[in-house]
Structure 1
Amino acid sequence: MPEPHILAAILWALILAGAGGALTSIGPWYRNLKKPSWQPPDWLFGPAWTLILSSAAWAAILAWEGASSRSDQMIVIGLYAANFVFHFAWSPLFFALKRPDWALKESFFLWGSVVALCVGVLPYSALASALLVPYVLWVTFATYLNYTIVKLNGPFQSPASP
């Protein structure tokens, strides 16, 4: 059986990927949004996130193994826990609540958590930090895409209560 930190990293990635997929509804509301011509095709987002989260999980393993003390390991856990929360929050805001404007505000917290991961793991593993660069770049791109969708479609309102 794999070491606990390896299982934790795999679970972190699987939960985020699974939740992101489950909470992303490409239905009529989304299809009717105006989107920029440079938006990648919808089918690309799943594979992109799979690669990014797999690399981030590998980075977590390397950072954990490079952390020489329990307090350093707790830093790694804290960075990944914060990122988990901010990553997990984006899809329900955008898709379930149909509030790209709220998702845009949240994306700055997500971006900050990814940058914190990239910088925070560097003392433990340069490779771990490098593995997180695509995550930073993709979230930067996704935030700009989110901004453009808000600009093209806003203002947004909360769905009416039943």
Structure 2
Amino acid sequence: MIPCWIIIGAVTFFIALGSFLITPRDVKWFARLSRPHWLVFEPLIPPTWTVIFVCGAASAYIVWQKNPGSLITWLVMALYVLVEIITVAYIPIMLRFRSLKAGEILGLIGLISGIVLAICILPISPMAALLLLPYLVWTPIGTYTTEELKELNPQDA
């Protein structure tokens, strides 16, 4: 039998591959946007998201270990998957539709979904909920940054 941590890691990895739906034409649009002067941490965004996804997978693993295979656990796992899909969809959808508003909406939906997930797992494992803290801190930063990009690039809002 395959250990659950491998399955959780593989699901996380394969969903994250959705970010490869970005085309060079989409990237050119985003690269030409004006950026806020304070956005000096842009090179740190990919490693930051890597840490966030690892924390999310670790959180899911802890929850699974508490009550493996139960209906509640499967429902919570589905919520983890939903949060990751929303998170990964942010960039491809924003770029494909060339709409900062679409990115902002997905960021807000991701934040709300992440809060719901954290509330759901808090009684199961406070440590698993704590591992979602990087997501819950970073997502508003990304959403706020998208809002600032909208202000600086109203033609691309």
- TM over 0.5, yes or no? yes
- Equivalent residues in 2 for 1:143-158, closer than 5 Å: 143-156=143-156
Cα offset, 1:22, TM superposition: 5.4
Which residue pairs with 1:160 in the alignment?
none
- Sequence identity percentage: 22
Q: 2:138 & 2:11 partners in 1: Cα distance? A: 18
Which residue pairs with 2:22 in the alignment?
23
Give CA-to-partner distance per residue, 1:4-46, whole Å, 9 cap, x none. Answer: x322320232124333355385843222211112224432111
* Higher helix proportion: 2
1:20 maps to a residue whose letter is S
1:64–1:94 distance in 2 versus 1, CA, 3 Å: same
Which residue pairs with 1:75 in the alignment?
75
TM-score, L = length of structure 2 = 0.86
- Aligned residue pairs, count: 156
Cα offset, 1:122, TM superposition: 1.1
Which residue pairs with 1:124 in the alignment?
124
Q: 2:92 & 2:138 partners in 1: Cα distance? A: 19
Which residue pairs with 1:49 in the alignment?
49
Q: Report the aligned-residue RMSD.
A: 2.3
Q: 1:16 & 1:24 partners in 2: Cα distance? A: 17
Cα offset, 1:78, TM superposition: 2.4
Helix, strand or coil: the match of 2:39? Answer: coil
1:13 maps to a residue whose letter is T
1:53–1:24 distance in 2 versus 1, CA, 3 Å: farther
Pair 1:35 & 2:46 matched: no
2:47 maps to a residue whose letter is P
Q: 1:16 & 1:39 partners in 2: Cα distance? A: 27
TM-score, L = length of structure 1 = 0.84
1:10 maps to a residue whose letter is G
User: Is the 2:27–2:95 contact (alpha carbons within 8 Å) kept by the matching residues of 1?
Assistant: no
Which residue pairs with 1:59 in the alignment?
59
2:78 maps to a residue whose letter is G
Give CA-to-partner distance per residue, 1:32-82, whole Å, 9 cap, x none. Answer: 211112224432111101111001000000011123771221231221132
Q: 1:156 & 1:32 partners in 2: Cα distance? A: 11
Instruction: Mark the runs of 5 or more structure 1 residues left unpaired by the alignment.
Output: 158-162
Give CA-to-partner distance per residue, 1:94-146, whole Å, 9 cap, x none. Answer: 22222111111121111111112221111211111001001111101101001
Which residue pairs with 2:104 in the alignment?
104
Q: 2:27 & 2:20 partners in 1: Cα distance? A: 13
Q: 1:49 & 1:11 partners in 2: Cα distance? A: 16
Helix, strand or coil: the match of 1:147? Answer: helix
Q: Which runs of 4+ in 1 moved over 4 A?
A: none
Instruction: Mark the runs of 5 or more structure 2 residues left unpaired by the alignment.
Output: none
